[in-house]
Amino acid sequence: MALDKTSDLNSLGFAKPPSETRVVVAMSGGVDSSVVAAQLAEEGYDVVGVTLQLYDHGAALAKKGACCAGRDIHDARRVAEDMNFPHYVLDYENIFKDAVMDEFAESYLGGATPVPCIRCNERVKFKDLLETAKDLDADCMATGHYIQRKMGAHGPELHCAEDATKDQSYFLFSTTPEQLDYLRFPLGHLPNKDATRALAEKYGLAVADKPDSQDICFVPDGDYAKVIEKLRPGAAEPGDIVDTDGTVLGRHHGVIHYTIGQRRGLGIGGLAEPLYVVKLDVDAKQVVVGPKDMLATRTIPVKEVNWLGDGPFEGTAEREILVKVRSTRPPRPAILRSKPDGFAEVELLTAEEGVSPGQACVFYEDDSSRILGGGWIWRGA
């Protein structure tokens, strides 16, 4: 690929030919990262593919729809062979367990609802793998995430993907400015997933029709409680299901089986109105239920704020932004107030239901596609 005559920068933003630009591509074995690697290889970049083995691949060889398992490692290796670039598999199983899986279990035991995919990006892919890319003398690291990196007046900015249905900004809010400087996201500008699959067909990739991963990779059947009990034997202690006055309505088999906002599967039918989980009292081993209006939340305390906006976060005046409190919900108008030591308070202009500790609260600029960062909801609202 020839250098741009006006900017003298290649497509990854470096002032040198692609052949002199080394890029490590994080390859999960899926169609997205495979297309990124194939496209950059075709453009003449010095591509190095890296796949992480994150958990017991022996138990996952027959598992479809999960990343970083045995079958996916095979698929990534095949793409590298077809496109003629080196490919390495790194055993990150212990790192992944310590940095992601253990916290996942502890969060559920503490009555929170964690988002392990965010922690994986933050603590494994964009930390340890990124450092490995630097050790390989790569100029940058590219991934198949649907998000955009744009140059702004003060440096790289993080923006939502062109295709709102595939946008992964909720899962990447904790990307730091330093990481963003090194990362590239070649798919973020594409109009839809069909365009990605068309590119896979163009490059003759065997994974062109491979289905998207739907599950958390280490929870292959969606049974979170089963995984938690394996990580923390004896975690599922039974207790009472109570209303907000403390009246016992039934029994449960462990707080880890419930989430804030849950209605189905409570086993307390025959009541005058439907009840929802409004609180998880881990110490008392109680699942507290109440009417739907008790789920409405206006004020959200946030911790571990990662700020991607211009200037410092602490000490700034309150600002009008948009926020997401769940990955499946659209951004909603809110007021953001900074607090010392990485804390913040978010005031929703319209109440949201089912806001849960352990979930992310992601900040968006209210008049653009830019992501301003975010933090973690850290106590019941």
Listed residue (159, 155, 225, 148) closest to 185, CA to CA: 148
Give the angle subtended at the CA of 111 by the CAs of 109 and 114, to the nearest 5°: 85
Q: Does the annotation mark 140 as catalytic?
A: no
How far, in Å, CA of 264 to CA of 275, rounded? 9
First to last CA, the chain: 53
Task: Kindly name the residue from 120, 140, 160, 361 that is annotated as catalytic.
Answer: 120
Q: With beta carbons less than 8 A apart as the criterion, state whether 243 and 250 touch.
A: no
Give alpha helix (H) positions in the chain.
Answer: 31-42, 70-83, 93-96, 102-109, 116-120, 130-135, 177-182, 193-202, 224-231
Residue 334, Ramachandran bin (φ over 0: left; ψ between -120 and 50: alpha; else beta) = beta
Q: Does the annotation mark 120 as catalytic?
A: yes
Q: How many alpha carbons lie under 13 Å from residue 315 in its C-beta half-sphere?
A: 2
How far, in Å, CA of 121 to CA of 174, rounded? 8
Cα Rg of the chain, angstroms: 22
Handedness of CA 250, 252, 255, 257 (dihedral sign): negative
Within 8 A by CB and 6+ apart from 368, the residues are: 159
Task: Kindly name the residue from 67, 117, 217, 361 that is annotated as catalytic.
Answer: 217
**Which residues are catalytically annotated?**
120, 217
